[in-house]
Structure 1
Amino acid sequence: MIDEFKIYFLFFDRAGHGESDPNPSRTLKTDTYDIEELADKLQLGPKFHVLGMSLGAYPVYGCLKYIPHRLSGASLVVPLINFWWRRIPQNLLNAAIKKLPFAFQMILRVAHYCPWLLYWWMTQKWFPNNRDPKKIWTERDIELSKIYYKKSYMDAAIRQGEYVSCQQDIIAGYGNWEFDPTELSNPFSDSNKGSVHLWCALDDKQISRDVLVYICDKLPWIKFHEVPHVGHWIIHEKHHFEAIIKAACTE
């Protein structure tokens, strides 16, 4: 497929992950401009395609907002839902967050309302804080995580500490955004050279289909893909990943 479409994949460590320096004032906007600067430093050219999954999809929304002129396309795979987006009906967001286990709800609420307390909340022992992945993953998700998320990989990813990597990710993704996804404009309205895709896994226990459908109804230029019988780790299923890449390259 790489040969067929003449593409290559560039993965990078966001601020605080792996070998990338932490950014204490990190936001959705700074992560977006990190992507643009990286593309320029590596001389990728005037346009590139961005793909983000789950929490890692928030910089893709940022690219659509802040640097749409640099995009040849974008793919959002089971993208995060910020439960404090302003223009999405509150009843939809409330229903979506209530589907999460209470411990996960509290992490997101602390990250949004009191981000300076997140490290304490994640490490304290006074209040229940059981973050059992079995409550938010399907059995197949757990199988895939054992294959792709080995301890050596995770240790390298968070080598600088969970606060500057994972927890800063959560704060950036679930903080107060300067925009709402439904306010985005089609970056390819003046041409047919580019498309935006959003992939929804119907067995996903974390991401609400109803919220994603609402966003795509408001933004009909986003091509919405529903995939049955698959959970949150859809991107690690070979045939689904190939479908995601093929759609990005051909539709």
Structure 2
Amino acid sequence: MAGTTGGAAATAPGKKGETPAATRSGALKRLPLALLVFFAALLYSQIQPPPSKVPGAPGGPPVTAPRTRLRDGRHLAYLESGVPKEEARYKIIFVHGFDCCRYDVLNVSQGLLQELGIYLLSFDRPGYAESDAHPARTEKSIALDIAELADNLQLGPKFHLIGFSMGGEIMWSCLKYIPHRLAGVAILAPVGNYWWSGFPADVVEEAWYVQFPQDQRAVWVAHHLPWLTHWWNTQNLFHSSSVKGKNPIILSKEDTALSQKFLDRTYKEQVRQLGEHDSLHRDMMVGFGKWGWSPLEMENPFAGAGDEVKVHLWHGVEDLFVPVQLSRYISKKLPWVIYHELPTAGHLFPAADGMPDVIVRSLLLGDE
């Protein structure tokens, strides 16, 4: 009886006939798989961005700006300044940059707005401030958004465009997809995509190493591993984008003097209020993503239109946000682009006193 009892106890831990040692061995063999599943689930939860908030919805920020509804149901918030559009000689749409919003419009003097009869429109790009997020955003979709915005606000068949930084990069998309709507374009310190075809290897290499190492890594992730962009820019193991983190090391001498204008913005908390992923991270994913075309391969979209439509490209030599080398090469490749290189300026030159008027006069009147 005692022997029978002991035998029963020995086989109890596992299947019939298994010893405790065999049971432990089987469990140990399954442990790596269990750990792999656990860490995969943990990683998946970490890399998934939280859903964006919806302006005006429960849990979302209130809607305080005028907004227009697009065909797909999204809303864009906007800001109007200058003379009434019904009286305007010129209508300009300004496209803001990374980590900005409609209030970061080019600060054109009231005197010039009145003198030239300028209506100036800025808007929150998708996912910023009070404009709904657009998870399917592409380099083409934002150009179509701009055209639809102009239609909704009845700006007429043509308008001028000015874009800064990430908004400057968007100007290339507008030149490709909606050139028939454009009366002229000013591209200010535009972000460049290192993977656009047409760049010589030495130009890309020189521009690449102007960036700080953490920015190289952030840009590389956005291009090659876009699904990891949210995690990369929110983790604390490594330094992420110095632009997103507002690291002062990225400021040139002239940018340092101008940066206080951005630090003093009373509305800065509104910029990211819908969440960082569909504003900042998606900007990086689209801007540095895999484009199916390259601005360097564009033909003049205004060929045959005479000298009426001009494209101006402005860039500062001391820009540590966006290296000048890419813009410099694009201007050589595209002879129809009028290039303005500023030898001592950094990235924030459009905020310098008097510079907005210089840019606008150049665009509208051809002044140098």
* Bin for the TM-score computed over the shorter chain: over 0.9
Shift of 1:208: 2.8
Question: Do the aligned residues in 1 keep the contact of 2:318 with 2:343 (CA within 8 Å)?
Answer: yes
| Amino acid paired to 1:21 | D
| Amino acid paired to 1:244 | I
Matched, 1:221 2:336: yes
Structure 1 stretch 73-82 or stretch 183-192: which is displaced more? 183-192
Aligned to 2:283: 169
Aligned to 2:142: 31
| Rounded Cα–Cα distance in structure 1 between residues aligned with 2:241 and 2:164 | 24
Aligned to 1:77: 188
Structure 1 stretch 239-248 or stretch 33-42: which is displaced more? 239-248
1:28 match: secondary structure: coil
Question: Do the aligned residues in 2 keep the contact of 1:28 with 1:173 (CA within 8 Å)?
Answer: yes
| Rounded Cα–Cα distance in structure 2 between residues aligned with 1:187 and 1:105 | 32
| Rounded Cα–Cα distance in structure 2 between residues aligned with 1:239 and 1:202 | 19
Shift of 1:140: 3.1
| Amino acid paired to 1:205 | L
Structure 1 stretch 124-133 or stretch 21-30: which is displaced more? 124-133
Give unmatched runs, 5+ long, in structure 1.
Answer: none
Alignment of 1:53-202 (within 5 A): 53-129=164-240, 131=242, 133-150=247-264, 152-191=266-305, 192-202=307-317
| Rounded Cα–Cα distance in structure 2 between residues aligned with 1:247 and 1:134 | 31
- Deviation string 1:120-172 (CA, Å, 9 cap, x unpaired) is 01111223437263222114323322223436422111101111111111111
- Greater relative contact order structure (CA < 8 Å, 6+ sep): 1
Question: Do the aligned residues in 2 keep the contact of 1:84 with 1:176 (CA within 8 Å)?
Answer: yes
1:40 match: secondary structure: helix
Question: Do the aligned residues in 2 keep the contact of 1:234 with 1:241 (CA within 8 Å)?
Answer: no
From the superposition, tell whether residues 112 and 56 of structure 1 become closer, same or farther in structure 2 (CA, over 3 Å).
same
Q: What fraction of aligned residue pairs are identical, expressed as a percent?
A: 37
Shift of 1:31: 0.8
TM-score, with length taken from structure 2: 0.65
From the superposition, tell whether residues 46 and 164 of structure 1 become closer, same or farther in structure 2 (CA, over 3 Å).
same
Alignment of 1:43-58 (within 5 A): 43-58=154-169
| Rounded Cα–Cα distance in structure 1 between residues aligned with 2:240 and 2:330 | 31
- Deviation string 1:91-111 (CA, Å, 9 cap, x unpaired) is 211221111111111111111
Aligned to 2:113: 2
- Deviation string 1:167-187 (CA, Å, 9 cap, x unpaired) is 111111110112111122223
1:10 match: secondary structure: strand
Aligned-residue CA RMSD (Å): 1.5
Aligned to 2:29: none
Of Structure 1 and Structure 2, which has the larger fraction of its residues in helix?
A: 1
Structure 1 stretch 88-97 or stretch 29-38: which is displaced more? 88-97
Shift of 1:246: 0.6
| Rounded Cα–Cα distance in structure 1 between residues aligned with 2:320 and 2:158 | 34
| Rounded Cα–Cα distance in structure 2 between residues aligned with 1:126 and 1:133 | 17
- Deviation string 1:225-247 (CA, Å, 9 cap, x unpaired) is 11122211010012222111111
Structure 1 stretch 204-213 or stretch 175-184: which is displaced more? 204-213
| Rounded Cα–Cα distance in structure 2 between residues aligned with 1:246 and 1:61 | 21
Aligned partner of 2:353 among 235, 238, 245 = 238
Aligned to 1:210: 325
Aligned to 1:11: 122
1:26 match: secondary structure: coil
| Rounded Cα–Cα distance in structure 1 between residues aligned with 2:353 and 2:180 | 31
Structure 1 stretch 151-160 or stretch 22-31: which is displaced more? 151-160
| Amino acid paired to 1:30 | S
Q: How many residues align?
A: 251
Give unmatched runs, 5+ long, in structure 2.
Answer: 1-111
| Amino acid paired to 2:316 | A
| Rounded Cα–Cα distance in structure 1 between residues aligned with 2:239 and 2:286 | 24
Larger radius of gyration: 2
Question: Do the aligned residues in 1 keep the contact of 2:254 with 2:344 (CA within 8 Å)?
Answer: no
2:340 match: secondary structure: strand
| Amino acid paired to 1:200 | H
1:142 match: secondary structure: helix
